[in-house]
Structure 1
């Protein structure tokens, strides 16, 4: 089944060129099924690239999905035009009365700022509380995951001695998790972060699902809040880490090349994608689990 997104969204052509089935609104209306309602709160500055990364994965699942792109209500983007945002995005205030089967909160490039100093932190608090009543299952990514762990569980984060940057092998700690069906025992996962979560503050209501003893926890499950927290970036495309490295170099930062990304460490070579299959598996499993457990009547979500 396809994903349904706005007909003029730039990501549409990219997905169609890749063979992802994208459905227009007229055809979707003819299908006598209830599509899953998925929301994507996009906190990244490059909205178009991020929405393409996530719609690529959501659109490869076997169920029909209606995707709603969401943004912070009062935040003014420096990298995406207001016309683009008004055309393709809803503010959270516009969707706060709506119910969603699934909701994704992305990362944000504010890793070194205390949560309470983030300008839109009050709205983030409202959104995280809202997911408990208006969303059947939530996936928090990177900074979004750190923020939710801080809010729901009081988890503490700390700055690492050096940036974790590259593609690293992890260990699946619970292969019986419905979100990890089909995962290999030691998947390669892209990482780009300065912070880690203090394991001693995670609490007993969280289950570590994917781990790396040296670099830190990658994925946790939270039954109470019907959520998963993914602290790294399986959604990244081939160039995400490479482009970040090039930006750092141009800015004069002494950032080493991302580990295990370029063939033979040659930064002039085309990066190798060693995580794509696990990215598709994760999102297929997540959406399938939502489909199996969400109420048929949307208004009953959160009851």
Structure 2
């Protein structure tokens, strides 16, 4: 089934070229079906790239999905035009009266800051509190996962000696949870962060369940026992070349950055990287939409 997106969204044509079934809003309104309503709080600087990455995954399921993009009103984005935001994005004040079946909160390149020093943290906490009553299930990615662990469970982040950067092998620690149904016992996942969260604190919290972790990159997948919150500390949604783009961007800025681990063939940045995590990415998103959104959300929100 298709994803429903605004007709002129730049990602639409790229998705169609990839043979992903995209339906514009005009055609969607003529269908007698109850679609899943998903809202994405996109905190990434290059918003159009993130839109494409997430829409590609939401469109690869049997469910019809309506997607709404949201940005923070208390922070001015510098890497996307105001026209794009005004045309395709909404703010919390405009949608806080609504109910959503699912929500995605993306990462953000602000992990060096204490949470309270982020200029939109107050707005973030209001949004995360609102999800408790207005969203069936929330998928948090990277910094979004750290923010959720901190706000909902009081588990903070800590700075790493050097950036955890590359493609790491993770092993499953709980095979019985629907979120990882169909996963191999070990799988690859991209990670790009300067901070991490404590395995011990999460393991000792009776409200949380660790689903996968890496000897080198730490905790990766965490789910709350009430299945309301899913935290992914890496970037399964990344394209094959995203880590290369980040690596070259940092080099251009004069940042002393190591070559991403286990990423470039032969660890040679001149070679084209391969996507070795795609299948598990699609599994994660389809399992989330099926088991935690579609099968849990009420047909009619009261």
TM-score (norm 1): 0.96
Q: Deviations over 1:39-97 (max 9, x none)?
A: 00000111101111100100111100000001112321111111110000001111111
> Contact 1:208–1:217 at 8 Å: present in 2 too?
yes
Q: CA deviation at 1:251?
A: 1.4
2:4 is aligned to: 4
Report the secondary structure of 2:29's partner residue: helix
Q: CA deviation at 1:225?
A: 6.3
Report the secondary structure of 2:136's partner residue: strand
1:247 is aligned to: 249
2:259 is aligned to: 257
> Contact 2:37–2:67 at 8 Å: present in 1 too?
yes
2:232 is aligned to: 230
2:297 is aligned to: 294
Q: Deviations over 1:231-254 (max 9, x none)?
A: 100000111100000011111222
Q: Deviations over 1:241-280 (max 9, x none)?
A: 0000001111122211111111122211111100011111
Mapped to 1, the partners of 2:276 and 2:216 lie a distance apart of 20
TM-score (norm 2): 0.97
> Contact 1:210–1:219 at 8 Å: present in 2 too?
yes
Report the aligned-residue RMSD: 1.1
Mapped to 2, the partners of 1:69 and 1:156 lie a distance apart of 27
> Contact 2:168–2:216 at 8 Å: present in 1 too?
no
> Contact 1:106–1:144 at 8 Å: present in 2 too?
yes
Mapped to 1, the partners of 2:240 and 2:120 lie a distance apart of 30
Report the secondary structure of 1:103's partner residue: strand
Mapped to 2, the partners of 1:127 and 1:14 lie a distance apart of 30
Report the secondary structure of 1:158's partner residue: strand
2:15 is aligned to: 15
Structure 1 runs (4+) deviating above 6 angstroms are none
Residue 148 (1) aligns with residue 148 (2): yes
1:188 is aligned to: 188
> Contact 1:156–1:201 at 8 Å: present in 2 too?
no
Mapped to 2, the partners of 1:226 and 1:5 lie a distance apart of 25
Q: CA deviation at 1:140?
A: 0.7
Report the secondary structure of 1:187's partner residue: strand
> Contact 1:132–1:225 at 8 Å: present in 2 too?
no
2:209 is aligned to: 207
Residue 274 (1) aligns with residue 276 (2): yes
- Counting only pairs closer than 5 Å after superposition, residues 56-75 of structure 1 correspond to structure 2 as 56-75=56-75
Mapped to 1, the partners of 2:255 and 2:27 lie a distance apart of 50
Residue correspondences, number: 299
> Contact 2:72–2:92 at 8 Å: present in 1 too?
yes
Report the secondary structure of 1:264's partner residue: helix
